[in-house]
Amino acid sequence: MQVLDGKALAETIKDELKAEVDAIRQAAGKIPHLAAVLVGEDPASQVYVRNKVRACEQVGFRSSLVRRPATITQTELLDVVRELNEDPDVDGFIVQLPLPGHLDEEAVNLAIDPRKDVDGFTPDNVGRMTLGLDCYLPATPNGIMIMLERYGVETSGKEVVVLGRSNIVGTPMTILLSRKANPGNATVTICHSRTKDVAAHCRRADILVAAIGIPEMVTADMVKEGAVIIDVGINRVEDSSRSRGYRLAGDVDYAGVKDKVSAITPVPGGVGPMTIVSLMMNTLQASKAK
């Protein structure tokens, strides 16, 4: 069984990005600048943003963090987005989700300039992705595609099952894996809360992408012998034996399936680091486009 180590692969790619940024600096070119907007004090969001800022420092990007209180109004947040859209020095930016309940995430997303949408969430980039045109791909799905390519996981002609239909992971994964490309050319089934007999679908999968947000939902009896498992989930599970009172678990029962599969991503240290690397690759692309 091969562990698809996203943390190690992300470090390799960050070294590649750093070499490219060093060359840009020596040529007196523009250093890529990524900004992040963080609203409120959500602990998970703070960790994600902190990791992104740290990764920028590692490769020599400029980074900015725009913090606003959870009480910010919709108009005030849209003003922040407008300012970042108009700032010529900012190549790309993200608005960290989730936002407080009183804010309209869709309206915020629609307000982002597609040329700076390094998360790949705006309709312009999603539409271009669907048509196979140049665009900023959604960070997590693109990170998974890079992982499949770098680890030599064959996708052409394979049966792929994606658990979850979110606009952030599930739906774009089905598009990327089914289109005529490498990785790609797979036959893809998407499962969700209304799917009948999810286990039967999973057992057909040569490659299973779990992004459904239910801790350890995928058990050994749901997995085909020799399958490749991409576990996108990261869930806090209460655990009194841990000093912090919880442990992190994926959507797949790692301990239960590891001896049955040919390859699997760990949680943490699998898909998460690749998401950040993909975000940085998009930012470099945005900087070059200028």
Residues linked to residue 37 through DSSP beta bridges, in sequence order? 66, 95
Name the catalytic one among 91, 116, 117, 119. Answer: 119
Q: How distant is the alpha carbon of residue 13 from its chain centre?
A: 15
Which alpha helices (DSSP H) does 104-161 contain, by range? 105-111, 123-131, 139-150
Residue 179, annotated as binding a ligand = no
According to DSSP, residue 270 is labeled S
Q: Strands, DSSP E only, in the chain?
A: 2-3, 33-39, 62-68, 92-95, 159-163, 187-191, 207-210, 228-231, 235-238, 246-249, 263-264
Residue 164, annotated as binding a ligand = yes
Among residues 120, 153, 124, which one has the least CA distance to residue 265?
153
Bridging pattern class, strands 92-95 and 33-39: parallel
According to DSSP, residue 269 is labeled S
Residue 168, annotated as binding a ligand = no
Distances in Å between the Cα of 290 and the Cα atoms of 26, 134, 190, 286 are 18, 15, 37, 7
In the residue annotation, 206 being an active-site residue is answered as no
First to last CA, the chain: 44
Residues linked to residue 92 through DSSP beta bridges, in sequence order? 34
The SS3 assignment for 46 reads helix
Name the catalytic one among 52, 116, 158, 224. Answer: 52
Name the catalytic one among 14, 91, 96, 224. Answer: 96
In the residue annotation, 253 being an active-site residue is answered as no
Residue 115, annotated as binding a ligand = no
In the residue annotation, 52 being an active-site residue is answered as yes
Residues linked to residue 95 through DSSP beta bridges, in sequence order? 37
Alpha carbons 99 and 97: distance in angstroms, whole number: 5
Which residue ranges are tagged as binding site?
164-166, 234
Which residue ranges are tagged as binding site for NADP(+)?
164-166, 234
| Residues annotated as catalytic (active site), given as ranges | 52, 96, 119
